[in-house]
Amino acid sequence: MTDRYTLDDLLAIMAQLRDPQRGCPWDVQQDFASVAPYTIEEAYEVADAIDRGDFDDLRDELGDLLLQVVFHAQMAQERGLFGFAEVAHAISAKLVRRHPHVFGDVRYADAAAQKQAWEAIKAVERRHGGAPQDDSALAGVSSGLPEWRRALKLQQRAASVGFDWPDAQPVLAKLAEEVGEVRAEFAHGADPARLLDEIGDVLFVMVNLTRHAGVDFSSALRHANAKFERRFRQMETLAAADGVPFGERTLAEQEQLWLQAKALEGKP
Nearest to 14 by CA among 58, 60, 64: 64
Is the pTM here over 0.95, yes or no?
no
Please give the CATH architecture assigned to the domain spanning 7-98. Orthogonal Bundle (1.10)
**pLDDT at position 268:** 60
For the chain, domain boundaries? 7-98, 219-264
How crowded is residue 119: how many other Cβ atoms within 10 Å of its Cβ?
A: 15
CB-CB contact of 163 with 136 (8 Å)? no
List Cβ neighbours of 149 (8 Å cut-off, separation of 6 or more).
217, 218
CB-CB contact of 211 with 156 (8 Å)? yes
Amino acid identity, position 206: M
**pLDDT at position 135:** 75
Binned average pLDDT, 10 residues per bin, the chain of 268 residues: 87 97 96 94 91 93 97 98 97 93 90 82 73 76 86 91 92 96 91 93 96 92 92 95 93 95 83
- Determine the Cα–Cα distance for residues 69 and 81; give it in Å rounded to an integer: 14
**pLDDT at position 161:** 85
**pLDDT at position 76:** 98
